[in-house]
Amino acid sequence: MSERLVPGDTAPAFTLPDADGNEVSLADHKGRKVIVYFYPAALTPGCTKQACDFTDNLSVLATAGYDVIGVSPDKPEKLARFREQESLKVTLVGDPSKEVLEAYGAYGEKKLYGKTVTGVIRSTVIVDEEGKVERALYNVKATGHAAKIIKDLGI
């Protein structure tokens, strides 16, 4: 099981393909705050709700200086379908190897319908302008999560 990040940690660097197959790196966002959220699978009800919530609040977050990147183990083709089908505006990247998910503590054992399974732990890590972890939230709820982050950040 991967270690969870805590405030003050250096956010693990990553470069992953987006829905169009273009590489997106955390380093591309240096100088801005980044909300990196991890979700189990594109085109599923909870993940769709979460992605739509972030899309709906993207301008509020951007105005406050935050970029948003959604990470799942999906391949770019599935992310493209997800983006088109739901008119998503957030940057979605795929991590089929699960290396980045593990580096962020967002992959491991979790409870699902009372059973212990290994999979993506719905998580959000807020990275500051210098690449340090400002907040690390694990086992978050899909519904209302974007609104909670906005409230917690005082935006």
Known catalytic residues are 47
Residues 45, 50, 51, 52, Cα dihedral to 10°: 90
Contact by Cβ (8 Å): 61, 147: no
